[in-house]
Amino acid sequence: MRLLARLIKPKIHLSHSIVDYQNLVRKKLRADPENRSLALAQAIGATTMESFHAQGDGHVAVLKAHGLHDGMAIYDLGCGCGRTAQALRRAGWRGSYKGADVVPELLAELLEKCPDYEIILNFTPQIMADDESLDIVFHWSVFTHLYPAESYLYTRDAYRALKPGGKMIFSFLELEDQAHDRVWDANLSRIEAGQRAEQLDAFLHRDWICRFAQDAGFSAPRFTDGSDNSTHPAFWQALAILEKPV
């Protein structure tokens, strides 16, 4: 199989997120070389293939709740091995899909499962799409592993790439949600023990996201609590929805 990805050379060095994530994925693959799909699913947070598929279906439900329909151009930032992409395929969605990630092994798996989707190996805090060409930019648990300034750069570039009326939809961790305490507590325990975390776990405050949105040009964000299941399955992480004014 040939990896049909575009390699975007970095202008800004994001070594912590790239190296940590690549190391995590390769560690999982070494631990279970006979079950590649499961190892990759575990590297992005699923414990079983059943949970991997259920999470992907939940992602699609969120996107549909916020306006996804056939014919749209969408961009999956941090697409991994295709948790959302494969769910879109299962749901019968038709449109233009681009997925970007920093781990070649994950992208190879996505391409194998969804060979007609476009994938991009990109190490920069940029959305690799033309100006005003996208309807939705989405990402799940990406800003949870970046410094705030890096998250803002992605937000600003998403605004550029979105059509008027387009949306950026993403998940994040917040200290205000007690369900997220387990991530905070695990980080504290590792630091107290003098251990290095496998990757950065970053929390964002809703006020910060409002500031990012304002500075980038978006309308005031809307938020969904991680436990909210009123319009789609509860996501666990909080959700932010940023819309580009028409």
The DSSP secondary structure of 49-66, one letter per residue, reads: HHHHHHHHHHHHHHHHHT
Would you say the pTM of this structure is higher than 0.75?
A: yes
CB 86 within 8 A of CB 114: yes
CA distances to 90, 103, 112, 175, 227 from 193, rounded to whole Å, are: 44, 29, 41, 22, 31
**pLDDT on residue 19:** 87
Give residue-wise pLDDT tens across range 119-131: 999 998 999 999 9
Q: What is the CA radius of gyration of the chain?
A: 17
Give residue-wise pLDDT tens across range 54-103: 999 999 999 999 999 999 999 999 999 999 999 999 999 999 999 999 99
Largest CA distance in the chain: 51
Give residue-wise pLDDT tens across range 146-192: 999 999 999 999 999 999 999 999 999 999 999 999 999 999 999 99
Give residue-wise pLDDT tens across range 182-200: 999 999 999 999 998 778 8
Return the domain boundaries, the chain.
5-243
What amino acid is encoded at 19 in this protein?
A: V
Tell me the pLDDT band of 9, cut-offs 50, 70 and 90.
very low
Q: To which CATH superfamily is domain 5-243 assigned?
A: Vaccinia Virus protein VP39 (3.40.50.150)
